Structure 1
Amino acid sequence: MLVTMTTAPLRKDAARNWHRIVEVGRRFVDEGTPIQLNDVARAASVGVATVYRHFPTPEALVETVAIPGFEALLGQAERALAGDDPYAGLRDFLYASVDALLADASLSPVFAAPVNVLPHTAELKRRLADLSGRILDRARAAGAVDPGVTQDHVVPLMCGVVYAASVHPAACAEDRAAAGRRFLTVMLEGLRVRAS
């Protein structure tokens, strides 16, 4: 999805430049390289003014890189709400969230930012918060999750799971993903209500 700071359609050359800049931004995020727009311009082989025209701040570029990940999580949330089993929907959505946060380094800083540069990012975050709250409410209403557990509890717990998996002394991303799933399984066991 082509998200720009303006709503006007881009000319072909401008669209090509936009895609090159976003590809470089994605690579920098994946490598853990700080986003400096002058460095992005050099790596994308475009002028600095071109980068600033599309992305006036590094945050705008990082948010653009993160948008596909947010849209994928929204799809997961919608599927979780449409399913028959409220607990399975919650569980599967939380697993998908941990997987996404560990696989896509652009998501955590955008999630953590108190203010977003792009209105589209703010809207995606608002929708995701709404859907994830409804997923949890549905699991609580079904008696599958401790009635005292709220979204205000789950969010920091999820941050803890992602942090623990990120600092895990793993040699590769697959190990971090496996660690994240193990830690999340422990967390889910603590949330679940079982029949006595």
Structure 2
Amino acid sequence: MLAAARARLAAGDMELPLNAIAKDAGVGVGTVYRHFAGRQALLESLAADSYRELIAEAAAAADNPDIADGLRNLLRAALRRQLADPALAAVLSTPECQCDETLALSRELGALTMRVLDRARKAGVIRADIVPDDVRRLTCGLQHAIRSGDEDGTAIDRYLDVLLRGLRS
């Protein structure tokens, strides 16, 4: 079922109709609904590996001796992971989780992001009012902007620079 859903995502189908996924996977629709309560639960399952990879990037950013570099690396990783995995982009753009695993991943990412932000604030790298949810929302917005047209492949670095300038204290 996950392979069928990934194939639909790769083809650009973000709707992920569970009936169509059941047909593609060669199972009954009841089987799909027994595993996934709905589209959001399916997206969260699809995004779990990318979420874990982003958490590893956040841990590395939190431990980076140069916190300005760590912050930039975290933001770049969040953008790149969302661009590479539309399921992760969809999950991160939704403020609430359906699955316990996703909730745990979200909390872990939030805690690591807070470590990065706390260190960045103490170093005078960012403004005092920035919280992890701001980072989530801003990177979701940037990934959407990049998807809407990055013909020359320079948008990530350009938009990341604009974002970092806006976060400065």
Q: Bin the TM-score by the shorter chain.
A: 0.7 to 0.9
Given the alignment of the two structures, is residue 64 of structure 1 paired with residue 40 of structure 2, yes or no? no
Q: Within 1, Cα distance between the matches of 2:35 and 2:137?
A: 34
Q: Within 1, Cα distance between the matches of 2:118 and 2:35?
A: 40
> Where does residue 94 of structure 2 map in the other structure?
113
Please say if residues 18 and 29 of structure 2, whose CA atoms lie closer than 8 Å, have aligned partners that are also in contact: yes
Output the amino acid matched with 1:124.
L
Output the amino acid matched with 2:155.
A
Given the alignment of the two structures, is residue 144 of structure 1 paired with residue 135 of structure 2, yes or no? no
**Between Structure 1 and Structure 2, whose CA radius of gyration is higher?**
1
Output the amino acid matched with 1:125.
S
Normalising by structure 1, report the TM-score: 0.76
Q: Give the one of 134, 147, 159 matched to 1:166.
A: 147
Output the amino acid matched with 1:186.
V
Q: Within 2, Cα distance between the matches of 1:113 and 1:92?
A: 23
- Any residues of structure 2 matched to 1:58-137 within 5 Å, and which? 58-137=39-118
Q: Within 1, Cα distance between the matches of 2:157 and 2:11?
A: 23
C-alpha change, 1:148 and 1:120, in structure 2 (3 Å) is: closer
Deviation by residue 1:33-62 (Cα, 9 ceiling, x = unmatched):
121111111111222222222223122111
C-alpha change, 1:125 and 1:28, in structure 2 (3 Å) is: same
Q: Give percent identity, aligned residues only.
A: 36
Output the amino acid matched with 2:86.
A
Normalising by structure 2, report the TM-score: 0.87
Please say if residues 58 and 113 of structure 2, whose CA atoms lie closer than 8 Å, have aligned partners that are also in contact: yes
Gaps of 5+ in 2: none
Output the amino acid matched with 2:145.
A
C-alpha change, 1:92 and 1:42, in structure 2 (3 Å) is: same
C-alpha change, 1:117 and 1:152, in structure 2 (3 Å) is: closer
Given the alignment of the two structures, is residue 27 of structure 1 paired with residue 3 of structure 2, yes or no? no
Q: Within 2, Cα distance between the matches of 1:161 and 1:46?
A: 37
Given the alignment of the two structures, is residue 187 of structure 1 paired with residue 163 of structure 2, yes or no? yes
Q: How many residues align?
A: 168
Output the amino acid matched with 2:157.
R
